[in-house]
C-alpha cells in the first residue's frame, strides 16, 4: 500500500513537471503569458572584455524577455511578462563595465528591469531553465539590433571569453588631412585591410568614427589642428580605448559630409554649405526630435505599444475604448515621436496633446468631438447676452480703431450665421471714445485691441546737413599791339579788331589781351608820324567757398514730414493772345522724410532732399532764369544717433585755352608776344549728411 501511494505521488509530481514544462513552452510561443512567476534573486558577474552578466533566478520557467534600448540617457529596458518581484530589491548598484545600476519596476501584468549605462552597449538574452541570463557588452556576441532574439547556445554554456585582435589583423596605419579644390576638408585614413569599416555618426556637431576591434598605433593618437587650411574642419582627434579606435572630426559653421572607401583607404569629406544650401537641407531634415528607442514586437496589442511609449516619455496617456487591434513592428534607434506617429498612421488613429496628457483615439472620433465642441461654442455665442460699455481711446483715433475692429470681425460674423450683425459700435468724436454694444467675449476682444493699438506714437528728429564746397583758380595772360603811322611817305599803317586800316587814329593790330584783366603793362615807341604800342594784360583769380545748410524736421513714426526754405522767382510769360502773365519758379531747399522705427531702435528712412539755386552764369531765355538743381532720393537704415552720408556729387573742371596769331605766334621766343593763354581749374563738391534721433520722454529738445 505504501509502495502504491509512493508511486502515485511520483506520477503526480511527474505530471506536474510535464504540465509546467508544457506551460513554459507555450509561454515562449505566444506573446501573452499564461502563468505568473516570481523573481527570486539577481546575481551580477563580471566577464572579460569589460562586460557584465546578470542572472535572474525564477521559481519556474518564464517566457523569453523582450526589451528595448535608449540612446540618451543610455539604458536597457527588459520586460518580464507575468513576473512578480520577490527578490526584495528595487534598486541596486552594479558599477561593472558600462553598467552603473539597475532598477526593478512592477506593473499590473509585468515587471520591468531597467539597466542604467554610462554608454550604450549591445546586449543579449538567453533562458536556461528557471534562469534568464542578460549579457551587456561585446562578450554577448551580438549588437543591440539583434539583442531581442534569444541566443541559441546550449543551456549551460559559459560566455565566450574576450579575444584581442592583433594589429596585423585590423589596424589604422595613417591619418592625413587634405584641402579640396572647392574648400572642403578631407580626412584620409589608411587601413590595414579593406574589410575594416567604421561606425560613423554625427553627434553634437562632431563627426565620430568608431573602428571596432581595431588597433591604433601610439604615434597616431594625437589631436591635429587644421584651422590654417581654411576648411570647415578645425580639429581631428584620434584615440584608442580597449579594443576600439575612435577618430573625431570637429567642424565649424554649416557643413555637410560624405564618407567613401576605396580598397583600404577611407576618406571623409566635409564641405561648407551656403545659406541657400543650409535652408534647403533644413527643409528636408528629419522632423522628429524625441529620444530614440528600439521596439521589436510580433503581433502585439496596440494599447500595449502606446503604454510602452507613455512609460518611456513619462506622459499621461488616455486611450479611447475604440483603440483596438494588434501591430507588428521592428524599430531600431527611432525617435519616440516618430514611432508614435507610425503606429497612429498605421491604425488610423490621431492624437491630441493637452498639457502633459496625450489623448489617443481614431481620427474620425477626435474630429467629431472637436466639431461638437465648436458647435457648442457657436451656440453659446449666439445666445450670449449683449452688454454696453464705453471704451476711452487716448492716443489713436477712435473711428479708426472701430473701423478696424469691424473689418476684422466681419469674417467671424459671416461664419456665425444667426449671430451675424449682433451688437453695434458707435464713435464719439468729441471725447474720442467708442460706445460698444457687444457680447462679453467681443467686449474683451475689443479691449485687447484698444490696449495694443492705443499707444503713444514715437517721434524722430531728422537732422540733415548739406555741404557745398567750391575751389576755383583762373589765370589769363595776353598781349595787345596798337600803332599808327602817317605822314610824308606813301604808307599808312594801322589796324583794328576787324582788320581794317584807319587813318589818323590809333588802331589795334593784334588784340589778344586778357578778359577782365586786373593789371596791364604798356611799352610804346613814338616819332613824328609813328606810334607803336605793346600792352601786356594779365588776370589771376583764386577762390574758396563753402555753403552749409542744416534743415531739421520732427515727425512721428511712419509719418511723412516736409520742410521748405527758399524763394520764388517771378518772370513774365507771353500768351498766344499777346497778354503777359507773371509766373514763378521755386528755388528752395527742401527735406522730405518718412521714418520707421524698428523694434531694435533703428530707423528706416525714405528721404528726399532738394536744393535749387539760380544759375546767373547762364543767360535767361525769354526772361526765364536757369536753375541749378541738386536732388537726392534714398532709403537707408541707420542706428539711433548715427550719421550717414546719403549722397554726394564731386565735380572737377579743368581747361587750358591758347589763342595766337598765325605764324607769328609760332615763332620761337617772339611768339609769346602774339599769344593769349587762359588756364581754368575749378572743383566743387556736394555732400548730404543725415542723422536720425529717436525722441524719448514727454519733453523733446532739439539741438540747435
DSSP string, 581-624: EEEEEEEEEEEEEEEEE-TTSEEEEEEEEEEEEE-TTSPPBTTB
Where the chain has pLDDT below 50, the residues are 1-5, 7-8, 11-12, 14-35, 140-168, 417-419, 497-503, 698-704
Q: Which three cell numbers stand for residue 699?
A: 519733453
* Whole-angstrom distance, CA of residue 625 vs CA of residue 346: 85
- pTM over the 0.75 mark: no
Q: Which of 590, 586, 585 is nearest to 564 (CA)?
A: 590
Torsion of CA 614, 620, 623, 626, to 10 degrees: -30
Q: Which residues are CB-neighbours of 317 under 8 A, at least 6 positions away?
A: 306, 307, 309, 310, 357, 358, 360
Q: Which residues are CB-neighbours of 669 under 8 A, at least 6 positions away?
A: none
Residues 235 and 223 sit within 8 Å (Cβ to Cβ): yes
Looking at residue 156, what is its pLDDT?
Answer: 36
Q: Which residues are CB-neighbours of 130 under 8 A, at least 6 positions away?
A: 57, 58, 59, 60, 61, 62
**Residue 93 belongs to what H/E stretch?**
strand 91-96
Q: Which of 335, 344, 287, 346 is nearest to 68 (CA)?
A: 335
C-alpha angle 418-421-422 in degrees, rounded to nearest 5 = 80
Looking at residue 159, what is its pLDDT?
Answer: 39
C-alpha angle 434-436-441 in degrees, rounded to nearest 5 = 125
Give me the sign of the Cα torsion angle 49, 54, 55, 61.
negative
Looking at residue 485, what is its pLDDT?
Answer: 65
CB-based burial, 169-184: b 16+ in 10 Å, e otherwise:
ebbbeebebeeeeeeb
Can you name the residues that pair with 476 across neighbouring β-strands?
Answer: 539, 678
* Whole-angstrom distance, CA of residue 293 vs CA of residue 333: 5
Q: Which residues are CB-neighbours of 314 under 8 A, at least 6 positions away?
A: none
Looking at residue 248, what is its pLDDT?
Answer: 93
* Whole-angstrom distance, CA of residue 47 vs CA of residue 51: 5
Q: Which residues are CB-neighbours of 542 under 8 A, at least 6 positions away?
A: 472, 473, 474
Amino acid at each position: 500500500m505504501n509502495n502504491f501511494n509512493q508511486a502515485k505521488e511520483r506520477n503526480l509530481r511527474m505530471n506536474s513537471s510535464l504540465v509546467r514544462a508544457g506551460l513554459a513552452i507555450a509561454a515562449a510561443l505566444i506573446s501573452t503569458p499564461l502563468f505568473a512567476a516570481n523573481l527570486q534573486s539577481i546575481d551580477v558577474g563580471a566577464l572579460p572584455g569589460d562586460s557584465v552578466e546578470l542572472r535572474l533566478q525564477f521559481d519556474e520557467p518564464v517566457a523569453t524577455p523582450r526589451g528595448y534600448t535608449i540612446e540618451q540617457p543610455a539604458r536597457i529596458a527588459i520586460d518580464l511578462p507575468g513576473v512578480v518581484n520577490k527578490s526584495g530589491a528595487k534598486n541596486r548598484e552594479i558599477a561593472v563595465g558600462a553598467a552603473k545600476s539597475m532598477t526593478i519596476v512592477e506593473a499590473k501584468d509585468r515587471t520591468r528591469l531597467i539597466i542604467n549605462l554610462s554608454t550604450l552597449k549591445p546586449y543579449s538574452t538567453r533562458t536556461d531553465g528557471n534562469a534568464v541570463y542578460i549579457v551587456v557588452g561585446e562578450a554577448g556576441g551580438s549588437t543591440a539590433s539583434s539583442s531581442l532574439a534569444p541566443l541559441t547556445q546550449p543551456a549551460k554554456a559559459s560566455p565566450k571569453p574576450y579575444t584581442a585582435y592583433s594589429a596585423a589583423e585590423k589596424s589604422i596605419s595613417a591619418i592625413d588631412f587634405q584641402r579640396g579644390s572647392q574648400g572642403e576638408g578631407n580626412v584620409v585614413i589608411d587601413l590595414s585591410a579593406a574589410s575594416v569599416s567604421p561606425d560613423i555618426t554625427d553627434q553634437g556637431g562632431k563627426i565620430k568614427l568608431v573602428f571596432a576591434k581595431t588597433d591604433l598605433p601610439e604615434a597616431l593618437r594625437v589631436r591635429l589642428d587644421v584651422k590654417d587650411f581654411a576648411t570647415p574642419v578645425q580639429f581631428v582627434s584620434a584615440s584608442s580605448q580597449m579594443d576600439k579606435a575612435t577618430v573625431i572630426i570637429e567642424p565649424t559653421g554649416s557643413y555637410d559630409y560624405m564618407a567613401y572607401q576605396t580598397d583600404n583607404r577611407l576618406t571623409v569629406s566635409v564641405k561648407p554649405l551656403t545659406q541657400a544650401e543650409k535652408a534647403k537641407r533644413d527643409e528636408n531634415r528629419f522632423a522628429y526630435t524625441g529620444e530614440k528607442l528600439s521596439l521589436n514586437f510580433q503581433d502585439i496589442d496596440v494599447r500595449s505599444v502606446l503604454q510602452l511609449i507613455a512609460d518611456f516619455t513619462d506622459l499621461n496617456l488616455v486611450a479611447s475604448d475604440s483603440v483596438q487591434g494588434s501591430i507588428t513592428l521592428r524599430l531600431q534607434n527611432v525617435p519616440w515621436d516618430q514611432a508614435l506617429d507610425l503606429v497612429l498612421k498605421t491604425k488610423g488613429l490621431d492624437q491630441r496633446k493637452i498639457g502633459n496628457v496625450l489623448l489617443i483615439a481614431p481620427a474620425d472620433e477626435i474630429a467629431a468631438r472637436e466639431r461638437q465642441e465648436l458647435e457648442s461654442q457657436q451656440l453659446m455665442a449666439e445666445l450670449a447676452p449683449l452688454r454696453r460699455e464705453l471704451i476711452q481711446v487716448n492716443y489713436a483715433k477712435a473711428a479708426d480703431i472701430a473701423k478696424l475692429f469691424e473689418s476684422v470681425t466681419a469674417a467671424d460674423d459671416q461664419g456665425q450665421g444667426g449671430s451675424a450683425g449682433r451688437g453695434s459700435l458707435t464713435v464719439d468724436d468729441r471725447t474720442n471714445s467708442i460706445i460698444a454694444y457687444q457680447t462679453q467675449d467681443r467686449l474683451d476682444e475689443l479691449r485687447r485691441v484698444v490696449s495694443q493699438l492705443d499707444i503713444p506714437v514715437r517721434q524722430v528728429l531728422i537732422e540733415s546737413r548739406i555741404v557745398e564746397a567750391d575751389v576755383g583758380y583762373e589765370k589769363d595772360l595776353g598781349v595787345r599791339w596798337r600803332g599808327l603811322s602817317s605822314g610824308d611817305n606813301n604808307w599808312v599803317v594801322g589796324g583794328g579788331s576787324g582788320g581794317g586800316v584807319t587813318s589818323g587814329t590809333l588802331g589795334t593790330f593784334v588784340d589778344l589781351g586778357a578778359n577782365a584783366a586786373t593789371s596791364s603793362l604798356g611799352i610804346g615807341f613814338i616819332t613824328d608820324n609813328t606810334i607803336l604800342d605793346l600792352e601786356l594784360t594779365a588776370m589771376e583769380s583764386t577762390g574758396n567757398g563753402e555753403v552749409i545748410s542744416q534743415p531739421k524736421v520732427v515727425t512721428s513714426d511712419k509719418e511723412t514730414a516736409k520742410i521748405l526754405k527758399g524763394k520764388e522767382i517771378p518772370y513774365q510769360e507771353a500768351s498766344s493772345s499777346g497778354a503777359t502773365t507773371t509766373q514763378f519758379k521755386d528755388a528752395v531747399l527742401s527735406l522730405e522724410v518718412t521714418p520707421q522705427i524698428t523694434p531694435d531702435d533703428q530707423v528706416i528712412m525714405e528721404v528726399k532732399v532738394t536744393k535749387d539755386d539760380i544759375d546767373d552764369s547762364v543767360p535767361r531765355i525769354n526772361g526765364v532764369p536757369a536753375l541749378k538743381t541738386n536732388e537726392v532720393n534714398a532709403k537707408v537704415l541707420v542706428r539711433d544717433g548715427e550719421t550717414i552720408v546719403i549722397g554726394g556729387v564731386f565735380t572737377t573742371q579743368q581747361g587750358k585755352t591758347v589763342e595766337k596769331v598765325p605764324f607769328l605766334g609760332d615763332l620761337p621766343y617772339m611768339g609769346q608776344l602774339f599769344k593769349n593763354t587762359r588756364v581754368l581749374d575749378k572743383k566743387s563738391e556736394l555732400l548730404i549728411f543725415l542723422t536720425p534721433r529717436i525722441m524719448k520722454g514727454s519733453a523733446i529738445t532739439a539741438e540747435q
